[in-house]
């Protein structure tokens, strides 16, 4: 039997991991990337990402995070690049709320990994957070920060070192399956033929695969960096995720001079595609972030010292789409990572690679293939707030 020919379309967060995994196997693998690995227009822009073991939504994800942790270590070893800085992450939430209850269940399962703090303990230990009366916190001792652009660059470069072909600044225009083969056409009308294709096109997925657009809501996300006020410092401000009253997260910048802050789905602008997204931000765009900082971080100045935008795809359930294309059985679509896909991306890339090679689905990935994803109502996909 001839070697499998596999394409990975989009080598951002997920695609670069799938490419790296496939490059280690006995197959011919070709990647297509609209820009360059680690570029600023996709879902991975903005300096850093939270890596946390604490789960706030779905306990089925826990084994995937363990696998991702192993693969980050392997990628670090193979590339010699530092990809994470694991100094802990604080999860803050209202004690009675569902995400906090899920987080507490995670903490009960792995007591050594977490420190559960009462309202009074959180206030005493983290005085720089204006913790509300009904909030508690869980410190995730083994969590921390991921450097996303380095991660994508390392996975892509290792894949090429291992023999993968990577076409950069190359846009795939269409994908078509006929008689068991998949035809990938670029914008110069050049066609390549593959046995299997993994599409990991992020917020461009609906544009590349129009019949799947209804399953994804594309959003523009804003990241903002806030610096300490005069005579204040960043000490006592670890990375955090807070689920109520309004989802937010923050990460100290690698140079230790500012806290990067972002909000959740309700605050993101609906877009058709990153190609037509607005990169300029108005003061009105920044206001929800400034209001959060005024309330939660009295020691930080309340106008950002810098900001950036990036783009993400969401599913209705907020659980990622990792399943074959409904009409093209040889095409796996990986999209809709709904604002939380980076930490698990090495494990997700491995899941995509195993599918492409025809290997059995591992138990930790089965639920992804069994989900019955619902389309968004047209009004929901474009609704604001
Ligand atoms: C602001 C922000 C903060 C986040 N914070 C966290 C966090 O703290 N922790 C966490 O775990 N997750 C976080 N996430 C989520 C995580 O970053 C995303 O879920 C993840 O990056 C999605 O990866 P992706 O591969 O789907 O998209 P991308 O990384 O955008 O990759 C898609 C790639 O496809 C390429 N492409 C698109 N169309 C084509 C085409 N036609 N031809 C060729 N190439 C194409 C694009 O150029 C791009 O490189 C955050 C997301 C955002 C936006």
Instruction: Give the start-end residues of each E strand in 134-247.
Output: 135-140, 144-146, 165-167, 172-178, 181-186, 191-194, 196-199, 217-226, 239-242
For residues 156-188, one letter each, b for 16 or more C-beta atoms within 10 angstroms of the residue's C-beta and e for the rest, the string is bbbbbeeebebbeebbbeebebeeeebebeeee
**DSSP structure string for 36-78:** -TT-SSSSS-SS-EEE-S--SS-GGGHHHHHHHHHHHHHHHHH
* Terminal Cα distance for the chain, rounded: 53
Rounded to the nearest 5°, which phi and psi values hold at 37?
A: -55, 130
Give domain 5-49+148-215+316-382's CATH superfamily. FAD/NAD(P)-binding domain (3.50.50.60)
The per-residue pLDDT string of the chain (385 residues; one tens digit each, 9 = 90 and over) reads 689 999 999 999 999 999 999 999 999 999 999 999 999 999 999 999 999 999 999 999 999 999 999 999 999 999 999 999 999 999 999 999 999 999 999 999 999 999 999 999 999 999 999 999 999 999 999 999 999 999 999 999 999 999 999 999 999 999 999 999 999 999 999 999 999 999 999 999 999 999 999 999 999 999 999 999 999 999 999 999 999 998 999 999 999 999 999 999 888 999 999 999 999 999 999 999 999 999 999 999 999 999 999 999 999 999 999 999 999 999 999 999 999 999 999 999 999 999 999 999 999 999 999 999 999 997 777 776 5
Distance 12 CA to ligand 1 centre (A): 6
HSE-up (13 A, CA, CB side) for residue 299: 16
* Ligand 1-lining residues (CB < 6 angstroms): 9-10, 12-15, 32-35, 42-44, 46, 49-50, 171-172, 200-202, 204, 208, 221, 223, 249, 262, 310, 312, 335, 337, 339-343
Sign, Cα dihedral of 353, 357, 363, 366: positive
Neighbours of 145 (CB within 10 A): 24
Handedness of CA 54, 60, 62, 67 (dihedral sign): negative
**Which residue's C-alpha comes closest to atom 49 of ligand 1?**
12
pLDDT at 380: 76
Report d(CA 351, CA 18) in Å as an integer: 8
Name 271's Cβ contacts closer than 8 Å, sequence gap at least 6: 203, 218, 219, 220, 277, 311
Domain boundaries, the chain: 5-49+148-215+316-382
């Amino acid at each position: 039997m001839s070697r499998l020919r596999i394409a990975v379309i989009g080598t951002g967060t997920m695609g670069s991991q799938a490419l790296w995994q496939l490059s280690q196997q006995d197959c011919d693998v070709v990647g297509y990337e609209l820009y360059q690995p680690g570029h600023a227009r996709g879902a991975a822009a903005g300096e850093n990402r939270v890596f946390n073991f604490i789960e706030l939504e779905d306990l089925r994800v826990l084994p995937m995070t363990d696998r991702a942790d192993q693969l980050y270590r392997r990628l670090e070893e193979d590339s010699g690049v530092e990809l994470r800085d694991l100094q802990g992450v604080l999860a803050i939430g209202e004690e009675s709320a569902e995400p906090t209850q899920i987080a507490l269940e995670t903490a009960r399962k792995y007591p050594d990994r977490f420190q559960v703090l009462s309202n009074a303990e959180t206030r005493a230990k983290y005085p720089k957070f204006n913790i509300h009366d009904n909030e508690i916190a869980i410190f995730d001792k083994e969590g921390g920060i991921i450097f996303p652009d380095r991660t994508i660059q390392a996975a892509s470069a290792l894949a090429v070192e291992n023999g993968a072909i990577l076409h950069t600044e190359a846009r795939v225009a269409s994908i078509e399956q006929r008689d068991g083969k998949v035809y990938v056409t670029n914008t110069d009308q050049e066609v390549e033929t593959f046995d299997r294709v993994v599409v990991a096109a992020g917020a461009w997925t609906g544009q590349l695969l129009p019949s799947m657009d209804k399953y994804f809501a594309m959003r523009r996300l804003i990241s903002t960096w806030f610096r300490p006020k005069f005579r204040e410092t960043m000490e006592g401000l670890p990375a955090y995720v807070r689920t109520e009253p309004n989802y937010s997260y923050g990460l100290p910048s690698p140079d230790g001079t500012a806290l990067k802050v972002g909000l959740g789905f309700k605050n993101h602008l609906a877009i058709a595609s990153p190609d037509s997204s607005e990169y300029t931000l108005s003061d009105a765009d920044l206001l929800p972030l400034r209001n959060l900082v005024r309330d939660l971080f009295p020691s930080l100045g309340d106008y950002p010292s810098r900001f950036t935008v990036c783009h993400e795809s969401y599913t209705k359930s907020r659980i990622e789409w990792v399943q074959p294309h409904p009409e093209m059985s040889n095409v796996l679509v990986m999209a809709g990572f709904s604002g939380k896909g980076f930490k698990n991306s090495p494990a997700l890339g491995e899941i995509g690679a195993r599918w492409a090679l025809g290997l059995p689905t591992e138990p930790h990935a089965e639920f992804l293939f069994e989900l019955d994803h619902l389309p968004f109502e047209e009004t929901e996909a474009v609704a604001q707030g």
